[in-house]
Structures are given as C-alpha cells and as structure tokens.
Amino acid sequence: MNNGTLLQELEIYRSFIQYSDTLFSFHSINGDFTYVSPTSFPLLGYEPEELLNTCLFDFSHPDDRKKLENICFTKSYETVNYRFCKKEGDYIWLETTLIPYCHENEIKGFSCISRDVTAQTATKAQLEENKEMYRLLVENFQDTVGIITKRGHWIYINNTGKKLFGVTRKEEIIGKSIFDFVYPAAYKETENQILLNGFKEPFELTVARHDGLKKYVQVKLIPTKYKERDTFQILIRDLTEQKKTEEIMHRTEKLSVVGQLAAGIAHEIRNPLTAIKGFTQLLKKEDNNDYLEVMLSELERIEDIVSDLLILAKPQPSKTEKVDIGLLLKETVDLFKSEALLHNVEIMIDIEISDLFIEGEANKLKQVYINLLKNAIEAMPDGGKIQVSAIKTRSDQIVTKIIDNGIGIPEERIPNLGEPFYSTKEKGTGLGLMICNRIIKNHGGTMKIKSKVDIGTTIIILFPAFNSGKSPAIIK
Ligand code: ADP
Ligand code: MG
C-alpha cells in the first residue's frame, strides 16, 4: 500500500469521525481525555478542546461512576450505559464501547465510542420504574393477590399470600391447586364458584392451612388473560380478625342483655319466692310430707339461681379489704366437707405459706371457690380426689389451683365455658363459671382452664398479691 492510498483511507476515516453522530475519544489510564472528536459539541455542548485533559469519570452521574470506572480497567471490550453531564447541566444517556489499549499486557489507556441513547433508555428506565412501582404495590397490598389457572392452580401470588397460607416461600404455593388449602367439605362450593365463573359475587371460604390454623376469607375472582391464557385474578381478603371482633361483640351484647333480663327477673321473683318458701316451711312443720321436702329443695334451687342472677345483674358497690386467700380457701373447703363425703370425694388441701393476701371482697371470692368446688364434685359422680393449692410466686402473684380427676371437658367445648347458660348438666344453670370469670376479672385476676376428657380438669386462678405494686382491683 502506497502513501497516497494510505492518505486517502485516513481522509475517509477522518471525515467519518468528523461528521458521524457518534463520539470518539481517547483516554489516558486515569480517564483523562487525550483526543475528542468534533461530535462532542453537538452531543455534549463542549468543544473538543474544552474536554482535553479533563477526566471522563468526573462527567458521569454519581450513581454510574463506579460502574464506569470498573469497566474501564477490565482488559476486554465492554459496552456500558451511563449518564454524562452536559455543559448545560443536564444528563444524557450514553452507550459507550470501551476498547482498552494495552502495551506489554498492561493497560495504557482506552478509547471510547459513544452514542446518545437517551430516548431509548429513558423509556426503558421509566418502564422499569413503573414495573417496580406496581410490583411494590401488589406485593405489599393488604389483601392476597394472585393469578390462578381456570382449574385453580396458582401461577402467581403476592407476599401477603405467604402470610395468609403460612408458608415461607411462594414456591410452596405456586403450581399447587387452591383446593389444597380448602377443607374437603367446601370443595363443591369452591369448585362451583370457579367452574361456573361465579366471579361476579365474592364468596366466603375457610382456608385450611397446613399448620392447622383456620383463616376466614372472602374470595373474589376476576377473569383475565395472562400470557395468552384464560386465567383468574384472585383477590383474597382475610376476615379472621373481623370475625373474632364480631364474635366478641355478639358475646358482649348477649352479656348485657342477660344482665338486664337478670335484674328484672330477679327482682320480680325474689319477693314472692321468699313468701312461698316461708309458707312451705311452715306447712312442712305441721305435716312432714315428702312432696314438701321436694318443693323446698326446688325452691332453694330457684333461690340459688336468683341470687346468681343478681350477682350478674347488679354488681353492688363494695368495700375491698385485705383477704387471706389461703384462709378463705380452707374455710370454703370446710363448707364442702359433708357434701364431699356424700359423693365419696376426698378434698386435699396444700397451702404453702400464710402470706397469701390479695385486695378484694371476701364474700365474692368465696363465691368463686364455691362455684369451682361444686363443679369439681359434680364432675366426679363416682367419687374421686380434688387437690386445692395456693402459692405466692416470685412475681408477686397468688396462684390457686383446683384439680379434679373427673370427667373432664372436651377441648372444643372449652371456649364455650363461661358463656351464660352454657351447661351440660341436667339441672345446671350455666352461670357458675360466668360469675367466677366476672368476679376474678374485677379483682384484676385471670382464670385458665385445662382439661382432658376422662382424666380431669385443672382450674388455675392468678391474682395480683396485696400491695404488689399493680393497680388495685377495681371492684364494681
Ligand atoms: P353449671 O355447673 O351450672 O353447669 P357452670 O358455669 O358452673 O354451670 O359450668 C358450665 C359447664 O362447664 C358445666 O356444665 C360442665 O359441662 C363444665 N364444667 C365446669 N367445671 C367442670 C369440671 N371441673 N369438670 C368437668 N366439667 C366442668
Ligand atoms: Mg357450676
């Protein structure tokens, strides 16, 4: 190749570089510009001379600088997208191919071929941003959001769904059928909802979690297309807490109605009752008739119920005092001596120390233990043992326990205990435990019931000790 041809070729390259909208530049090892093609002016607002001996990295956006620097020092061709600060102060996106210049296996510098890709990158960045925004919204939405196939298999589920189904990873749900989390009894209903496209109306469902926890939910299905397939968008709202609150409200309402009713009835009944009882006793004195005996015992029962109702309905204002729970328990057990003997029940009492004081009302507290001991004896129709104990804990609580080895209570019944009129006994009133609960609560205490069918029942009551620093009991 002669010089003339060489010159000609050089001229071609030169004019290409001159008029191209691509920017060419050479850099020393530390990033300083050593050559800049004229495109720098229309592209960046800088004349080539202005850029000479300035450092490329100083023009990059702070968030992109590290990425750019790292790439400049690799020994291979690399293409990088980064933001370059123009002379006017705004940034443009450049797509730059870096070509290292090595001598004896050491980088001496590099050249750059840069193109303005602001238009494309901005849309892409915006799309990414939007996608991220939607992703955040969907993932952290308070309801479970997902996509299921027409046959009910999960394709997608958000983070909230993991919590609802009690799993650690989404993979534990994706691919599975929603029927895996439905109680068999609800299969038909769920299937109908899906197959009959019952998406117009949301429906309620109980989620069967693999850890045994139940969740009450409302499900809404919206037909949608996902990757060309007919699918459902599924929205699940967790109603468990709401249901619980409703239940409590319902219970409270029931309680207040009971209270009002009780007040009315008790007042109306009490006076005639006293009269009837008095006359029956008189009659019995004159004529010792068996029927009168029965009548008297039934009248006593009515009297019991009426006084229970009165405790419930009209919590009389009362004076509190320092009560020795140990002594009170001993006295109460004494009351039951003959009744226990009659039913072949042995009551063992184990009371640790004498300093078992709480602040409260002795009569009401006695009522608690009377009700509980009565229940314990009634739970052992063929006789048995009752252990009564009281201790003071280091955290200043008085703990009393009443343990019987009677018939026990099925687990599913335990939540019902303490509801008014919940009784399994033919002659029961179902008010005993409710009154206990009420009195214990008013003394700042708590009651726990543990029970196993055919093994027995343990009733644990905790009271704050006298002067334990806790707020004194509010007695209504
Ligand atoms: P009642 O004794 O009038 O039935 P309670 O409120 O005292 O009403 O008790 C409610 C129910 O709780 C009882 O009917 C019984 O089924 C159950 N129960 C309470 N205590 C015991 C116990 N110690 N052992 C077994 N069941 C019990
Ligand atoms: Mg009872």
Give pTM, 2 decimals.
0.48
Coil vs helix vs strand at 386? strand
Q: Residues 373, 287: one domain?
A: yes
Q: At what angle do helices 432-442 and 362-378 cross, to 10 degrees?
A: 150
Q: Residues 189, 309: one domain?
A: no
Q: Residues 19, 93: one domain?
A: yes
| DSSP 8-state assignment for residue 89 | S
Cα 463 to averaged position of ligand 1 atoms, centre (Å): 22
Nearest-angstrom CA–CA distance, 221 and 96: 48
Q: Residues 117, 202: one domain?
A: no
Nearest-angstrom CA–CA distance, 446 and 442: 10
Residue 372, amino acid: L
Q: Whose CA is nearest to atom 11 of ligand 1?
A: 423
Residue 469 counted as domain residue: no
Residue 472 counted as domain residue: no
Residue 471 counted as domain residue: no
Nearest-angstrom CA–CA distance, 108 and 26: 11
Domain containing 77: what range? 3-122
DSSP-assigned beta bridge partners for residue 222: 233
Given 238, 273, 308, which residue is the final one in a domain?
238
Residue 135 counted as domain residue: no
Q: What domain count does the chain have?
A: 3
- Beta strands 384-392 and 345-351, pairing class: parallel
Cα 418 to averaged position of ligand 1 atoms, centre (Å): 9
Q: Residues 290, 332: one domain?
A: yes
Given 91, 122, 153, which residue is the final one in a domain?
122
CA dihedral 370, 375, 379, 381 (to 10 degrees): 60
Q: Residues 227, 156: one domain?
A: yes
Question: Ligand 1, closest atom to CA 430?
Answer: 8
Nearest-angstrom CA–CA distance, 373 and 388: 9
Q: Residues 354, 259: one domain?
A: yes
Q: Whose CA is nearest to atom 7 of ligand 1?
A: 432
Q: Residues 63, 167: one domain?
A: no
State the ligand closest to the CA atom of 409.
1
Residue 160 counted as domain residue: yes
Q: Residues 162, 310: one domain?
A: no
Q: Residues 277, 402: one domain?
A: yes
- From the CB of 376, is ligand 1 less than 6 Å away? yes
Q: Residues 76, 218: one domain?
A: no
CATH of the domain at 46: 3.30.450.20
Residue 403 counted as domain residue: yes
Q: Are 50 and 33 in contact (CB under 8 A)?
A: no
Q: What are the mean pLDDT values of the chain's consecutive 10-residue runs (476 residues total)?
A: 74 76 90 93 94 94 90 80 93 91 84 90 81 87 90 91 91 90 83 67 85 89 86 91 80 70 76 86 83 84 78 65 93 88 94 86 88 94 95 92 96 85 80 87 92 96 81 45
Distance of CA 97 to the CA centre of its chain: 53
Given 59, 91, 122, which residue is the final one in a domain?
122
All residues at 6 or more sequence positions from 297 whose CB lies less than 8 Å from its CB, including other chains = none
Choose among 72, 32, 37, 68: nearest CA to 52.
Answer: 32
Residue 470 counted as domain residue: no
Nearest-angstrom CA–CA distance, 178 and 207: 9
Q: Residues 338, 420: one domain?
A: yes
- From the CB of 379, is ligand 1 less than 6 Å away? yes
Cα 276 to averaged position of ligand 2 atoms, centre (Å): 25
Residue 196 counted as domain residue: yes
Q: Which two tokens stand for residue 115?
A: 């193109």
